[in-house]
Amino acid sequence: MFKLSEIKELIKLVDQTSVHELEIENEGARLLIRKPGKTEVVNVSAASVVPTYTQAVQAPVQQHSALPAQQQTEIQQSAAKTDNLHPIVSPMVGTFYRASSPENGPYVNVGDRVNEKSVVCILEAMKLMNELEAEVKGEIVEILVENGQLVEFGQPLFLVKPE
């Protein structure tokens, strides 16, 4: 469970950075902090609603449950293409780097084979460089973020076709 002082400190930190949203899970508790001024379009079903703590001032969220038939078809086709793919997600908020330094080549490219211990990128958080391992054996089929891009906790970075 989060202490009130910890929540206040996290809100201050988010407010002072370019991060628009921070989500943390700890011992079964989930904390979501969003900056005001961001409008979202969200599809929500009754089964997927999870209570969250959010910053008091928040932009309105528009909810739509019905999409045009063409969009629904495109979403279903996209989901079918990625159903058998394993996402490698960011375990933290940080800056994504494909290589250990600008002079070195990237850790992985599309088409490269990886195993559970293969380093796929570096995530910089609070001036610490953290190597991220694939955690799955397979082939990199898509790199979803750009080098130097700020990434969120849980954001997919790579798609891997498992072996």
DSSP code at position 46: G
Structure confidence by residue, pLDDT tens digits, 67-112: 555 655 555 555 545 568 999 999 999 999 999 998 999 999 999 9
- pLDDT > 50? residue 39: no
Give the count of alpha carbons within 13 A of 2, CB side only: 20
Which pLDDT score is estimated for 94? 94
Residues for the chain: how many in total? 163
User: Can you read off the two tokens belonging to residue 141?
Assistant: 């089929």
Task: Say what the pTM is.
Answer: 0.52
Task: Please enumerate in sequence order all residues whose Cβ is within 8 A of that of 142, keeping only pairs 6 or more positions apart, or say none.
Answer: 85, 110, 158, 159
Which domains are delineated in the chain? Answer: 4-62 (no CATH), 81-162 (2.40.50.100)
